[in-house]
Each structure stands twice: as C-alpha cells, then as structure tokens.
Chain A
Amino acid sequence: MHPDDRGVPAEVQLRLRVNGVLRELWLDPRVTLLDALRERLGLTGAKKGCDQGACGACTVLADGRRVLSCLMLAVTCEGRDITTIEGLGQDGGLHPVQRAFIACDAFQCGFCTPGQILSAVALLAEGRAGPDDQVREFMSGNICRCGAYPNIVAAIRMAAGDPGRAPF
C-alpha cells in the first residue's frame, strides 16, 4: 500500500482482537493502539496521560502482558489479543482487583485507575505480589499524581489474598 501522490498514507487493514471480540478496521498507519481503542472503538477506559510512554495511563494487556498502548502503532497489533479495562470484569461482575481497589480506596480522580488495575492484574500474574517494596517497584511504571500509591499497594495485597494489610 503506497501513499498517494499527495503523500496521504493509504489506510491499512487491521484485524484486532479486543476483549475477545475480533474487530476489523481500516486505519491510518500512524494511529497508535491507544487512539484506535479510544477514537475508533469507543473504548475510552485506556487514557492518554502523556502520549510518550512516561506515565502508564495507557496500559493495556497484549497477549496477557502489560504494555503501553501509546507507543504501539495499531497496525502492528494484527493477530494480538488486546485486553482493556472494559474487558476485565468477570461474569458481569467486578474482577477481584477492581473490588480491592474500591475497598482500599486505591484511586482519587480515577484517571490513572484503568492503567493501574491492568498493571496490577499483570503483576499478580507475573508472581510479583511479594513484599511491599517489590509491589511498589513493579507498579512504578504507573504514575498516580493524586498520590494513591499506599492504597494501591494495599489493594494489590488484598487481591493477592492477604487481608491483613488492608488499611480499613
């Protein structure tokens, strides 16, 4: 597919599996995965906090691993399984991490929250919910300007099945 005479990039066809559903899109190759999710698929849970990989608000799961959707071109995600916050609930209810975030008040304005939750889900799957310092370190790729960090750690502890550390 070549750009036309005016340099307009032709759109590229993309088949993207998002939250288990296969979506077909024609996209400007410049569109990031983040903007494809938000602007084209109406999945606005992933947030644009910096658009340059420095804050984590755009965190989604790709094939189960946490990644930054603002630095991924959507067209490169052909064949990959993308999970956004909208795809996290279980059987119409909340995922244990979502429930723990509410119980532990692990958010304030809520903007970083979808990214924090997906990052936490991945952290648990990575087996990194060990001592607090390990959780803090491996959640440091998600900035929270409201400063809810201690409660985020408590929520992860709770979701990991350690009720003794919940602050309330």
Chain B
Amino acid sequence: MHPFEYIRATDVRQAVATAAAGPAAAFLAGGTTQVDLMKDGVLAPQVLIDITRLPLRGVTAGGGVLRVGALTTMEELAADPVVAQRLPVVRESLLLAASPQLRNMATVAGNLLQRTRCRYYRDLSCACNKRAPGSGCGALDGHHRMHAILGTSEHCIATHASDLAVALVALDAVVHVHGAGGERAVPLTGFYRTPGEDPSVENALEPGELITSVEVPLLPEGARSGYLKVRDRASYEFALASAAVALVITDGVTRDARVALGGLATVPWRSRAAEEVLRGAPVTPEACAAAAEAALSGASPRSGNAFKVKLGKRTVARALSLVAGLPG
C-alpha cells in the first residue's frame, strides 16, 4: 500500500473541506472497497479521511420516505423494521449480498459507490481504461463471463456490482451530497455514468463530495417487491444476473411496476421499457416474459457472456412471477 496521511474527520464540513483542499484525498468509511483497492495499488490516495465518526448513521421513516444515514451499515439497514415491512426488495438485496461480516462493515453509501470486481481493473499489469484512461480494455478479448451486456462501450464492459443500488434505482431513491459548494440532491437514476468515452467517470460526484444520506420513497401499502439474485454458488458471490422488482397489482392487473437489473450492466439498470409493458396489463406469465424481453433489449453481449442475455431475461421473468405470486 502506498503511504498516506491519516486524518480522522470530526464533522462533515471539515471532512469536505479537507478533501477539497489538498492533494488526492479519499474518504474511508467501512473500507471494504477502499482498503481492498489500496492494497492492490489500484487506489493510492495521499490523504485518507476517516469519516466513520461522523453522525451520519441511522434510519428514520416519515412522510412516506425512508431516510438512511450514509454510514448506516448494510446489516443495520436490513434489520430495520420499516424496511422489512415496506421494502422487502431492499432487505433482500442487502441480505443476498456479501457476507454477514462484510455487511457489518460496509456502509450504504459505500455500497452504492463500490468499484467493479473486474480483474483487469484490479490488476495493475492489465490494460484498463477505467483505471488508466487510454490504456485499453483487457476484458474485451479476455475473460468476461461476469461482465456487462448492457450500457457497455468499446472502452469498458465492467459490471457494476452493487445489489442495493439496483433495488434503490428501482425505487427512485435520492442521494444527498455535501460538497465544497454546498448541498445537493441527486436522483439515483441520474447518479451513475455508463463508461462511454471515459470509463474513469462512474458517477455524478465532484471531487471531494460526500454522500451524507439516501432517501428512499416507500412503496405504497399493498405493494409487493422482491430481489432475485442468480449466481453459480449458493452464497457469497456477485450476481450473474439479478432483478429488483416492485409491483402494485389490483384485480389481477399491474397498476404500477418497477424493474431494475443487476449483474448485467455497467451501472444499476432501471428498465422503464419493462415497466411500460407491465403497466395496465393483466399479470400473466406472458406479460412477465414480454417485460423480460423489453428489459434486455439493446443488450450487446460478447462471446464469453452471451449466455447472460437468456439468463437475464429468465431472471427478470422469474422475479416478476415470484413477486406477483404467479403459480409454478
């Protein structure tokens, strides 16, 4: 690990000011991404600002909205009774992720900001346009079984690995950000950046900005939701494909639908096309299949991950079917 100066932040303004003031600085929360990548040499901040003592923890609900402090851990959020009752898709996306130990360390904001698992990104000996713009992409004709088929560019096909982000993107969550220029709110659906021409830009944060909280609108009473994660082994693995789904159904007809995909795209992938297919239509296996088709439209697979097109469609269809309570 590259040497760095360690600073413990005492309040948000000081943390943000420190980050803006000096040389390359990074925030340290749970550390499950930050420490990991610093050990690999992928990240090498000169200043590390420990924000774990900032008062940004806790979950409150009111006015139809759940407010989650940025430093709330994954386990804490999963255990919240309002989440369990009103947002099963969030609870499931958390409990199907990582391991209990990691969930006790990782924070909600850190989870949203986690970096890709791509082994070309994480290995300094490999070409990677995200880590070193212009150096190429080793995954394109290397091993890309876990890589993205949606939102890709010729410069990067790395998958976004967060499960929670997929659920929150489906629910239209909003991140609150504190920067040198003040506070702002960014809808999560507009927060992430696909790789495009410059894969090194992953989201809307300006340098030195800190996420302080996440707001999640509660689903209406009577809504059903769930998260389906498909992976090779039974646990402790990132998704081959996943789907966050929420449905409001009355008299067998879908009144409202939310669909987002994970494991398949370079960013948490909200599919309004799938939602369109479902809205106003009777809840049937055919509707689920049609929504799944729509969700994967525009996919551009490569030889090593072409199976994800079929798997992705079946995952979406299955998730919809399970949440809708369809038989079989």
By a beta-carbon cutoff of 8 Å, the part of chain A in contact with chain B is: 1-3, 7-9, 12, 29-30, 32, 51-53, 56, 59, 62, 65-68, 71-73, 75-76, 78, 119, 122-123, 126, 136-138, 140-143
Contact = CB atoms under 8 A, between A and B. Distances in A.
B140 interface: no
B31 to A, nearest CB: 5
Contacts of A140: 99, 234-236
B5 A1 contact: yes
Contact of B31 (A65, A71, A123, A137): A71
A24 to B, nearest CB: 17
A8 B3 CA distance: 7
B303 interface: no
B31 A76 contact: yes
Contact of B6 (A1, A8, A66, A68): A1
A65 B104 contact: yes
Contacts of A141: 98-102, 236
B48 interface: yes
B39 interface: yes
Interface string B188-228: 00000000000000000000000000000000000000000
A126 B76 CA distance: 12
A30 B4 contact: yes
Given A30-B3, A71-B35, A123 B105 contact: no
Q: Which of A3, A56, A71 gathers the greatest number of chain B CB atoms within 10 Å?
A: A71
Contact of A119 (B28, B101, B234, B236): B101
B50 interface: yes
Nearest 8 Cβ contacts at the A-B interface: A141-B99, A140-B235, A29-B6, A9-B3, A65-B104, A30-B1, A140-B236, A68-B101
B183 interface: no
Nearest to A6: B3
A12 B48 CA distance: 13
A62 B35 CA distance: 17
Interface in B55-103: 75, 98-102
Interface residues of B, number: 27
Contacts of A1: 5-6
B52 interface: yes
B100 A126 contact: yes
Contact of A72 (B3, B8, B31, B100): B31
Contacts of A68: 32, 101-102, 105
A66 B104 contact: yes
DSSP majority for the B interface? Answer: mixed
A137 B235 contact: yes
B9 to A, nearest CB: 11
B36 interface: yes
B236 A76 contact: no
Interface in B31-50: 31-32, 35-36, 39-40, 48, 50
A31 to B, nearest CB: 9
A144 to B, nearest CB: 12
A32 B52 CA distance: 16
Contacts of B52: 76
Contacts of B39: 51-52
A9 to B, nearest CB: 4
A167 B298 CA distance: 53
Nearest to B73: A65
A71 B100 CA distance: 14
A102 to B, nearest CB: 24
Nearest to A7: B3
A123 B6 contact: no
A2 B18 CA distance: 14
23 contacts: A1-B5, A3-B4, A9-B6, A32-B35, A56-B99, A56-B101, A65-B104, A66-B104, A67-B104, A67-B105, A72-B105, A73-B6, A75-B6, A76-B28, A119-B101, A123-B100, A136-B235, A137-B234, A138-B100, A141-B99, A141-B100, A141-B101, A143-B236
B191 to A, nearest CB: 25
A123 B104 CA distance: 12
A54 B47 CA distance: 26
B36 A119 contact: no
Nearest to B76: A65
Interface string B295-314: 00000000000000000000
Contacts of B99: 56, 140-142
